[in-house]
């Protein structure tokens, strides 16, 4: 079975500071990993995904995440937070291959302070 | 209009009411999804339609009734809901049931009173 754990339901950073949102997964098979963002009163938008190949994945809006198999982690980072980054962030995992069902984390709410 | 559009954006209904949520996608996709997003819970996949046929129903109570008249439209008919059904209901679409490549609508915030 697969599962996702997002450490920290709320994270607060200052504008310009590093953003680090943590995601650990459990999977008995090679995973595909995803980060989604949900801005207030909006639907979910894919930020980035890891399927195969390079373990450092770059996404939209300056975010990136690194797949670390040995740590079963897929943490999301951004070097410098912007006020517009304030949103809910969701990590998700699916099985590699044809089974494309997503298993979702509970989400982390990111606040950016001026 | 592009993407996935949901109406209404907000809905308040009594437990004895009947209402419907609407979703329309302009992406040419052939699969559509309903999700329930509640606080403190993972996103729950409710229904999946592929080529207008329901292919997945994840133990959703019968007070939720989906309808997919064509590949561009998806409805969720609601009746005799409970307060615990209050949530954000998200619609999404994708090509070929690839949930991992789905595009989401903005959601309908439902409050059951």
pLDDT at A70: 92
pLDDT at A97: 65
**Calpha distance B43→A49 (Å, rounded):** 18
pLDDT at A37: 96
pLDDT at A83: 97
pLDDT in tens, B16-44: 899 999 999 999 999 999 999 998 899 99
- Tell whether A96 lies on the interface with B, counting CB pairs under 8 A: no
pLDDT at A55: 92
Name the residue among B40, B104, B106 with its Cβ closest to that of A41.
Answer: B106
Q: Dig out the tokens for A99 from the structure.
A: 């089974």
Question: Which pLDDT band, with edges at 50, 70 and 90, does B58 fall under?
Answer: confident
Check: CB of residue A103 under 8 Å from CB of residue A92: yes
Name the residue among B40, B100, B107 with its Cβ closest to that of A102.
Answer: B100
User: Does residue B98 register a pLDDT over 90?
Assistant: no
- Tell whether A41 lies on the interface with B, counting CB pairs under 8 A: yes
Average pLDDT value for chain A? 92
% of residues, chain B, pLDDT over 70: 98
pLDDT in tens, A3-26: 899 999 999 999 999 999 999 999
- Tell whether A44 lies on the interface with B, counting CB pairs under 8 A: yes
pLDDT at B29: 94
pLDDT at B99: 84
User: Does residue B96 register a pLDDT over 70?
Assistant: yes
pLDDT in tens, A40-77: 888 899 999 999 889 999 999 999 999 999 999 999 99
DSSP state of A1: -
pLDDT at A1: 77
Q: Among all residues of chain B, which has the CA nearest to that of A105?
A: B42
Instruction: Compare A74 and B53 and report the one with higher pLDDT.
Output: A74
Q: What is the mean pLDDT of residues A103-107?
A: 94
Closest CA to B3 of B101, B109, B110, B106: B106
Query: What sign has the CA pseudo-torsion A60, A64, A68, A72?
Result: negative
Contact B98 A100 (CB under 8 A): yes
């Amino acid at each position: 079975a697969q599962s996702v754990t997002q450490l920290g339901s709320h994270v607060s950073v200052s504008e310009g500071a590093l953003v680090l949102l943590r995601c650990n997964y459990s999977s008995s098979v090679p995973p595909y990993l995803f980060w989604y963002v949900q801005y207030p009163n909006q639907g979910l938008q894919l930020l980035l995904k890891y399927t195969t190949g390079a373990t450092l994945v770059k996404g939209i809006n300056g975010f990136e995440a690194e797949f670390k198999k040995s740590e079963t982690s897929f943490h999301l980072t951004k070097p410098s937070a912007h006020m517009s980054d304030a949103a809910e962030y969701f990590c998700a995992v699916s099985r590699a291959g044809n089974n494309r069902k997503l298993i979702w984390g509970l989400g982390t709410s990111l606040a950016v302070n001026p | 209009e592009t993407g996935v559009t949901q109406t209404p954006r907000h809905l308040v209904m009594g437990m004895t009411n009947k209402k419907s949520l609407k979703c329309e996608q302009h992406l040419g996709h052939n699969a559509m999804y309903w999700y329930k997003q509640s606080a403190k819970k993972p996103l729950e996949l409710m229904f999946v339609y592929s080529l207008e046929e329901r292919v997945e129903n994840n133990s959703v109570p019968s007070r939720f009734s989906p309808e997919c008249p064509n590949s561009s439209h998806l409805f969720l008919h609601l009746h005799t809901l409970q307060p615990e059904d209050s949530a954000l209901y998200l619609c999404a679409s994708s090509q070929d049931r690839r949930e991992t490549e789905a595009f989401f609508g903005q959601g309908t915030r439902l409050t059951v009173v």
